[in-house]
Amino acid sequence: MAGISFEEIISSKPFRFSIGLQKREFTMHSALVAICSPALDRLVNGEFKEAQDLHAELESMNEETFILFAQYAYTGDYNREMSKEAKSFIVETSKTEVIVVDPEPDVAERVDDWGWGVNSKKTKCNKLWIEFKKEHSTALPARKDWPATKSCAGNVILSHAQLYVFADCYGISGLMDLSLCRLGKALVDIEVDDDKVEDIVDTLQYCYDELTPPKLRSLLVLYAACKIETLWKSTKFRELSTRHGELSTAIIGAMIGRLG
């Protein structure tokens, strides 16, 4: 891990997190949490009560998002498709147990900074979707030393989005890049059948019901503009568009170039 040794991580004090309304407890090494971002450094080493108690309550955060963050903190990567057994090294801990994920934490190569806009010269007909695929079709694979896994249940689109929101909230730049990159690729790869339409609509609803970063909303709005014919068949999507006028306006704005 750049900037800190394995010995420094192991010798640092355990920091407890209570996650969600159920307040399930997870424990991480405070030194490792601190180097993820300046905001997390203040959380574990600052003058606030959390640093004094070595304990923070994150009621609005779900458990999967925290587990993915913990994976990233210890290994430089995350993989929600790991089997339950493979995830066991970072699941719920006791108040005194400390998570140790990798005996030699290794930061994966960070993704490059992506330009998420659409080339204005390629906005007619299906060129919007062609450009979307071109820009978002690649993402770093998960660590090669993790076991092969099968696709897991749940809304993978929403999972990447929630992880990006958490990373943005705490200024974890590497995790922001990685999660947004994987979200884009997941959108390109997804087969938009009835079940997946609901996943996409649920993610759009999350982005507009909650306070989420403009970059995340822009990516999903652009995708919705590309797939509007399919999404419009969903009653839930039409209701969401009616309830959130800014969503409708943003999609229309993205579609103007498509129709021009």
- pLDDT single digits (tens) 140-194: 776 666 655 555 668 999 999 999 999 999 999 999 999 999 999 999 998 877 6
Residue-range domains of the chain with CATH? 6-90 (3.30.710.10), 127-259 (no CATH)
Q: Can you give the pLDDT at residue 131?
A: 82
Distance CA 116, CA 203 (A): 18
Distance CA 109, CA 144 (A): 13
User: E strand or H helix at 234, and its extent?
Assistant: none
Q: What is the DSSP string of 44-77?
A: HHSSSHHHHHTEEEETTS-HHHHHHHHHHHHHS-
- pLDDT single digits (tens) 80-101: 776 444 444 443 444 434 344 4
Distance CA 227, CA 159 (A): 20
Distance CA 202, CA 133 (A): 22
* Residues 103-118 as b or e (16 or more Cβ within 10 Å = b): eebeebeebeeeebeb
In the three-class reduction of DSSP (H, G, I as helix; E, B as strand; rest coil), residue 169 is classed as helix
Region label for 62, one of left (φ > 0), alpha (ψ between -120 and 50) or beta (otherwise): beta
Beta bridge partners of 17: 26, 56
Which residue stretches of the chain have pLDDT < 50?
83-125
